[in-house]
Amino acid sequence: MADKIYSQYPPSLSPEQEEYLVQTVKNWTIEHGLCVRPSTAIVSEGANPNNVLATNAPVTLFPSPFPKSCFEQARSLQQVYNELYAAIASDEQWLETIMKELIEVDDFLANLWKIHQSVKEEGYVQDLSLGMFRSDYMLHTPADSPPALKQVEFNTISSSFGGLASLVAEMHTHLATFPTPEHPAAYPPHPLLGNSNDTSSIKSTGHPPHNAAIPTLTASLAAAHEAYGPSKSQAQLPTCILFLVQDTERNVFDQLALSTHLYKHHKIPSFRLPASKMLAYTSIPSKESNPSRPLIYTPPYSPSSQYEVTVVYFRALYTPTDYETPTSWAARHHLERSAAIKCPSVLLQLSGSKKVQQVLTARPPDTDHLKSFLPHHSEETLEGVRSTFAPQYSLSATNGADESEGIRLALDEKTAANHVLKPQREGGGNNIYRANIPPFLNSIPKEQWKQYILMELIHPPTEAKNTALRSDGQVASGDVISELGIFGTCLWKNSSGSTKPEILHNTEGGYLLRTKGKESDEGGVAAGFSSLDSLILYE
- Positions that interact with ligand ADP (CB under 6 A): 136, 152-153, 390, 420, 422, 426-428, 430-431, 455, 457-458, 483, 521-524
Which CB, 441 or 454, lies closer to ligand ADP? 454
Which CB, 268 or 468, lies closer to ligand ADP? 468
| d(C-alpha 425, C-alpha 407), whole Å | 20
Which CB, 153 or 533, lies closer to Mg ion? 153
Which CB, 90 or 482, lies closer to ligand ADP? 482
For residue 389, the minimal CB distance to ligand ADP (Å) is 10
385 CB contacts (<8 Å, ≥6 apart)? 77, 80, 81, 84, 370
Per-residue buried b or exposed e for 1-31, using 16+ beta carbons within 10 Å of the residue's own CB: ebeebbebbbbebeeeeeeebbebbeebbee
User: What single-letter DSSP state applies at residue 298?
Assistant: -
**165 touches, from ligand ADP, Mg ion, none (C-beta below 5 to 8 Å by class):** none
In the bound state, the residue with its beta carbon closest to ligand ADP is 523
Which CB, 152 or 346, lies closer to ligand ADP? 152
Amino acid at 390: A
**223 touches, from Mg ion, ligand ADP, none (C-beta below 5 to 8 Å by class):** none
For residue 524, the minimal CB distance to Mg ion (Å) is 7
Kindly report the backbone phi and psi dihedral angles of residue 531, in degrees, each rounded to the nearest multiple of 5, phi listed first: -115, 155
**427 touches, from ligand ADP, Mg ion, none (C-beta below 5 to 8 Å by class):** ligand ADP
Which CB, 194 or 524, lies closer to ligand ADP? 524
Which CB, 138 or 416, lies closer to Mg ion? 138
In the bound state, the residue with its beta carbon closest to Mg ion is 153
**17 touches, from ligand ADP, Mg ion, none (C-beta below 5 to 8 Å by class):** none
For residue 445, the minimal CB distance to ligand ADP (Å) is 23
Q: How many CA atoms lie within 13 A of 446 on its CB side?
A: 7
Q: Are 93 and 404 in contact (CB under 8 A)?
A: no
For residue 453, the minimal CB distance to ligand ADP (Å) is 10
Binding to Mg ion by CB under 5 A, coded x per residue (else -) over 141-180, reads ------------x---------------------------
Which one, of 185, 264, 176, 186, lies nearest residue 218 by Cα? 264
**522 touches, from ligand ADP, Mg ion, none (C-beta below 5 to 8 Å by class):** ligand ADP
**390 touches, from ligand ADP, Mg ion, none (C-beta below 5 to 8 Å by class):** ligand ADP
**483 touches, from ligand ADP, Mg ion, none (C-beta below 5 to 8 Å by class):** ligand ADP
Catalytic annotation, residues:
134, 153, 155, 160, 354, 422, 426-427, 514
Which one, of 135, 2, 142, lies nearest residue 459 by Cα? 142
| d(C-alpha 440, C-alpha 324), whole Å | 26
| d(C-alpha 433, C-alpha 292), whole Å | 48
**458 touches, from Mg ion, ligand ADP, none (C-beta below 5 to 8 Å by class):** ligand ADP
Q: Are 337 and 122 in contact (CB under 8 A)?
A: yes
Which one, of 491, 125, 111, lies nearest residue 333 by Cα? 111
- To the nearest 10°, report the CA torsion of 149, 151, 157, 162: -20
Size of the site for Mg ion (CB under 5 A): 1
| d(C-alpha 181, C-alpha 365), whole Å | 53
Torsional sign, CA 537, 532, 426, 489: negative
**106 touches, from Mg ion, ligand ADP, none (C-beta below 5 to 8 Å by class):** none
For residue 193, the minimal CB distance to Mg ion (Å) is 29
- In order of 24, 307, 392, the CA distances from 191 in angstroms are 22, 54, 38
User: What single-letter DSSP state applies at residue 403?
Assistant: S
Separate counts of helices (H) and strands (E) for the chain: 17, 21
What would the DSSP string read from start to end of 307-362? EEEEEEEEESSSSGGGG-STTHHHHHHHHHHSSSEEET-HHHHHHTSHHHHHHHT-
For residue 193, the minimal CB distance to ligand ADP (Å) is 26
Per the DSSP assignment, residues forming a β-bridge with 502 are 493
For residue 462, the minimal CB distance to ligand ADP (Å) is 13
Binding site for Mg ion (CB under 5 A): 153
